[in-house]
Amino acid sequence: MRKHAKNLLLLLLLPLLCSCPGSVDPMPESAYVPILMSRQQLEASILQKEPRTISNAGKIYRHGHYILVNELYKGVHIIDNKNPEAPVNLAFIQVPGCVDLAVKDNVLYVDNAVDLLAIKLGDLTSLQVAKRVRNALPGLLPPDNLGVVYDMAGAPEEAIIVGWELKKSE
């Protein structure tokens, strides 16, 4: 039995002995660069706008007869779906850095980059931010999901990442 235990231990340690300590892969570089906004701009950017075409849809949420569609990094489309045969795009709520949303008790909870917002939906004719929780969420990561965290050195003070765009070719 002891011999089997030694063999099992050797078998488990074998991958460690075969690793190459001198060949550490460099950290991959993201193909994206961040879109930055100041804290002041971020907090003033929540606006109800005219409906627009959905171009980069994220999550979809049903609230009563409304459909809310996240436009990645841009905001939320509000669609009246009373008649599923002919849905009506009613409005667009501009929320920079938005990638997630939820609704409870007529309140839209949405991320505004690193902040969490509670927006009263009411009758959808006027927008009211009920509450903002600053820095409640982690910063946005690049869409290529390489685990790379953007180095904010050299960025303006109070800059916040609100989206990502592909690097321009040189």
Per-residue model confidence as pLDDT tens digits over 57-113: 999 999 999 999 999 999 999 999 999 999 999 999 999 999 999 999 889 999 999
**This prediction's pTM:** 0.79
Strand segments, DSSP code E, in 46-106 are: 47-49, 57-63, 66-71, 75-80, 88-94, 101-104
pLDDT exceeds cutoff 70 at 51: yes
The pLDDT score that the predictor gives to residue 20 is: 54
pLDDT exceeds cutoff 80 at 145: no
The pLDDT score that the predictor gives to residue 25 is: 56
What mean pLDDT, rounded, does the chain reach? 85
pLDDT exceeds cutoff 60 at 116: yes
The domains located in the chain, with CATH, are 26-166 (2.40.128)
Distance CA 102, CA 68 (A): 9
